Amino acid sequence: MCKEDWKAIRQHFSIANYQLKAHTKWAEAEKLQTNPAHSDFFTGISRIADVQDLKFLLSESSLKDLSHYQGAVVSKLRDELTS
């Protein structure tokens, strides 16, 4: 194998590793979301972000939905930290 082939293989594994980490974090977030102790937090975020149900793993949600949701999370966390 030439140097370029090895570089492509490393890049592929790097991307696959990032995707695996993202899916793992998303699964952890879904577990937190279903926990009744956190229901108020996630209900508030859905209202603020105007995104009712974010489905990242199924590719039903757009990147725009994800960015709105992420912005709402940051905003809500800032509000809770200053309260």
pLDDT at 72: 80
Same structural domain, 29 and 54: no
Give the 3-state DSSP-derived string for 28-60, with helices as H, strands as E and coil as C. Answer: HHHHHHHCHHHHHHHHHHHHHHCCCCCCCCCCC
pLDDT at 6: 93
Boundaries of domain holding 3? 1-34
pLDDT at 53: 65
Same structural domain, 50 and 83: yes
pLDDT at 12: 92
Structural domains of the chain, count? 2
Same structural domain, 62 and 80: yes
Q: What is the pLDDT along the chain (83 residues), one digit of tens a residue?
A: 899 999 999 999 999 998 888 888 878 877 887 888 887 777 777 677 676 666 655 566 677 777 777 888 888 888 877 87
Residue 61 DSSP one-character state: S
d(CA 39, CA 8): 43
Same structural domain, 43 and 64: yes
Same structural domain, 30 and 42: no
Same structural domain, 81 and 50: yes
